[in-house]
Amino acid sequence: MTNDAPITDEPDGIADAIPAWRLRARHRATWTYLVMLIASAVALLVSFILSAETLQLARNPDQILDCDFNSTLSCSAVAQSWQAEIVKFNGLSYPNAFFGIAAESVFVTVAVIGLCRVAVPRWFAACTWLGGLAALAYSYWLTSQSLFVINALCPWCLALMFSTTIQFMALSHATVTVQDLPARGDGLRTYYRLNYDLMVDALWIVAIVVLILVKDGPALFA
């Protein structure tokens, strides 16, 4: 019997047998959504911190923040750029961190729902994944702006970017192995069954770290 042999003794009412590999601990809801919950909670906390620092700078633009270490590693340099407040309405600018609080609150809630094993519609799971992808893309856009346009890095923004990355990794894992999406995703299921995601995720994180060090490494520790 291979690892793909179906489990046939499921309770009545479950139409499809569950492949044996999906019963491994790291592919189940408890693990995938727990990782997502931790990453989302960290991202939510960082969003609160960034919001507080934004308000401090609004009251005193010349204030030096605790995360201002040098000209390259500086929260205030990033916070005072236009990229930190891209949403404008009626002449008012809204800091990105405020939207981070709203978005990460949703992801924390989704992770808790997953941990509680509450059945959700397939459209809800699909929309959640798309929301996670949008959050990741937005985070990477801001990081690229910091690296190549603003030429300054915010430590808290980096923490938010890494936590958003791990959040998306866990959400993608859960979407395939727990929510069983997409319907015709045999390639993705094989990807997780063979644990290729562990290698890809590790290389993903290392690539980001290397990019940051190559671009600003010497200046970060100046």
Where along the chain do its domains lie?
Answer: 22-220
pLDDT, average across residues 89-96: 80
Neighbouring CB atoms inside 10 A of 131's CB total 15
In tens, the pLDDT along 103-125 reads 999 999 999 999 999 989 999 99
pLDDT, average across residues 181-209: 94
Residue 163 has pLDDT above 70, yes or no: yes
CATH topology of domain 22-220: de novo design (two linked rop proteins) (1.20.1440)
In tens, the pLDDT along 45-82 reads 999 999 999 999 989 988 888 898 998 999 999 999 99
Class of residue 98 by CB neighbours under 10 A (exposed 0-12, middle 13-18, buried 19+): middle
- pLDDT category at 218 given cuts 50, 70, 90 is confident
pLDDT, average across residues 157-172: 98
Q: In the structure encoding, which two tokens stand for residue 149, read together?
A: 């346009």
- pLDDT category at 4 given cuts 50, 70, 90 is very low
pLDDT of 129: 98
Q: For residues 192 and 19, is the Cβ–Cβ distance under 8 A?
A: no
Q: In the structure encoding, which two tokens stand for residue 180, read together?
A: 């069983």
pLDDT, average across residues 130-143: 97
What is the average pLDDT score of the chain?
89
Residue 33 has pLDDT above 90, yes or no: yes
pLDDT of 10: 38
Measured at the alpha carbon of residue 16, what is the angle toward residues 15 and 22, in degrees to the nearest 5? 140
The reply to whether the predicted model has a pTM over 0.75 is: yes
pLDDT of 6: 37
pLDDT of 17: 64
User: H helices within the chain, ranges in order?
Assistant: 29-59, 75-79, 96-115, 122-145, 155-177, 186-193, 196-220
pLDDT of 11: 39
pLDDT, average across residues 26-47: 96
pLDDT, average across residues 147-155: 94
